[in-house]
């Protein structure tokens, strides 16, 4: 048995945020957002105005910080319990969207503790109090269509990836005007995160015909359009915004692999953005996984029209294509070149390798990965060197 879960509606287009004004079945909306970017860009006001136009009373919950904490989630849930919305509108980057999903759980089920929901698929039924709309401002995490939310324990600094199709949003709104405001490095990093989502979903052990179709098309669009998007081309940016969402639908159901396992742990240790960690790791992970999944990686290469007759040649071309894209985007191909010192790396390398094996994403990787394997891949990514796996 397999399952494929995505939002009921996805609205796509310039000014799509106005779709909120048609949701006349709801009475009260709480709008959850991050720092100031949505307010500065005028999008918070647009969301509020559209909800009011639909006849809703509104309340704002602003200030969700990057890497949202359990404390922030419980604060938001309390605000929801007081206001009693029947619609939750999350607008912003991955952090406010993730935080709002977790707030939703504790609004619907105030009796639960955070410990009760950290196991995958342990969240009880939602939607007895509110439905959920997600409006992403960045083009990478695809939280607007996924069953995931990453929440940090502020005391231990441990990140908990909550996973349950209950928290897949009901409505996603891809308003193409919003990602136009992303700065260059954020566009590059989040775009490489999305490319990694699509590639990992395509080879993941849980992949299906449905996730394959979304993943392979997302890979094509991102590969063709990311450089132009980073250069500020508005059409390319709009294509990337849709493609990252397709990648999200794919990986929410097919799951991910060890590129994300290593990105999660290195990102936390070295304070390097999540997408850039994936960009650094991806070529080495492809080489490692291709030992057992050569044909599927070769399919990706062929779908991109890369050179090579044999599967082996296609895999080589794919690795080179990812490295070339990184160079075009100005992303350096090793942790060392990204400012991590060798002394700092050596102190934590074994710890990271061990932690990465225990990461939930490792379970759906196409090739079994030992701590030694992880360490070998990590060494490649630190020094920027190729080895035979
Ligand atoms: Fe990611």
* Sequence-distant (≥ 6) Cβ neighbours of residue 311 within 8 angstroms: 294, 295, 297, 298
Here the tokens at position 245 are 């969402």
Here the tokens at position 147 are 């069953």
Distance in angstroms (rounded) separating the CA atoms of residues 80 and 282: 40
Q: Report pLDDT digits (tens) over 27-75.
A: 999 999 998 899 999 999 999 999 999 999 999 999 999 999 999 999 9
What confidence score (pLDDT) does residue 387 get?
79
Here the tokens at position 224 are 């063709």
CA 272 to centroid of ligand 1, rounded, Å: 13
CA 193 to centroid of ligand 1, rounded, Å: 5
Residue of 47, 62, 228, 245 whose CA lies nearest to 142: 245
CB 60, CB 44: distance < 8 Å: yes
Mean residue pLDDT across the chain: 96
Distance in angstroms (rounded) separating the CA atoms of residues 44 and 22: 17
Q: Report pLDDT digits (tens) over 126-172.
A: 999 999 999 999 999 999 999 999 999 988 878 888 999 999 999 99
* Sequence-distant (≥ 6) Cβ neighbours of residue 40 within 8 angstroms: none
CA 79 to centroid of ligand 1, rounded, Å: 29
CB 115, CB 221: distance < 8 Å: no
CA 142 to centroid of ligand 1, rounded, Å: 9
Residue 82: how many CB atoms within 10 A of its CB?
10
CA 236 to centroid of ligand 1, rounded, Å: 20
CA 278 to centroid of ligand 1, rounded, Å: 7
Which of 93-97, 331-335, 376-380, 385-389 is predicted with the least confidence, judged by mean pLDDT? 385-389
CA 275 to centroid of ligand 1, rounded, Å: 6
For β-strands 148-152 and 131-136, DSSP reports them as unpaired
CA 144 to centroid of ligand 1, rounded, Å: 13
């Amino acid at each position: 048995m397999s399952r494929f879960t995505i939002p009921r509606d996805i609205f796509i287009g310039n000014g799509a945020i106005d779709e909120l004004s048609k949701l006349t079945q709801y009475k009260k909306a709480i709008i959850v957002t991050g720092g100031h970017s949505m307010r500065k860009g005028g999008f918070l006001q647009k969301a509020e105005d559209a909800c009011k136009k639909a006849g809703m009373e509104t309340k704002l919950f602003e200030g969700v910080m990057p890497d949202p904490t359990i404390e922030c989630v419980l604060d938001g849930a309390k605000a929801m319990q007081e206001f009693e919305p029947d619609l939750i509108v999350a607008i912003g980057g991955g952090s406010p969207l993730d935080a709002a999903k977790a707030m939703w759980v504790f609004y619907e089920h105030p009796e639960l503790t955070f410990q009760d929901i950290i196991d995958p698929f342990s969240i009880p039924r939602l939607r007895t109090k509110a439905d959920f709309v997600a409006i992403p401002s960045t083009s990478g995490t695809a939280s607007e269509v996924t069953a995931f939310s990453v929440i940090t324990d502020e005391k231990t600094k441990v990140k908990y990836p909550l996973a349950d199709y209950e928290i897949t949003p009901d409505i996603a709104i891809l308003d193409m005007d919003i990602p136009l405001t992303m700065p260059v490095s954020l566009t590059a990093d989040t775009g490489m995160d999305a490319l990694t989502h699509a590639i990992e979903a395509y080879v993941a052990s849980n992949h299906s015909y449905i996730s394959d179709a979304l993943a392979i098309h997302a890979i094509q669009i991102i590969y063709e359009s990311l450089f132009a998007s980073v250069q500020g081309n508005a059409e390319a940016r709009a294509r990337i915004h849709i493609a990252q969402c397709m990648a999200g639908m794919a990986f929410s159901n097919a799951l991910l692999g060890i590129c994300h396992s290593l990105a999660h742990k290195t990102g936390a240790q070295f304070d390097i953005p999540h997408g850039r960690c994936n960009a650094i790791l991806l070529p080495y992970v492809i080489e490692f996984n291709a030992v057992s999944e050569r044909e599927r990686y070769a399919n990706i290469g062929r779908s991109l029209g890369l050179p090579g007759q044999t599967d082996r040649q296609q895999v080589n071309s794919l690795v080179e294509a990812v490295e070339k894209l990184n160079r075009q985007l100005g992303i350096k191909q090793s942790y060392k070149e990204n400012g991590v010192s060798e002394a700092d790396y050596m102190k934590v390398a074994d710890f990271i390798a061990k932690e990465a094996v225990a990461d939930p994403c490792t379970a759906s990787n196409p090739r079994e990965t030992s701590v030694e394997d992880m360490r070998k891949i990590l060494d490649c990514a630190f020094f920027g060197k190729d080895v035979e796996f």
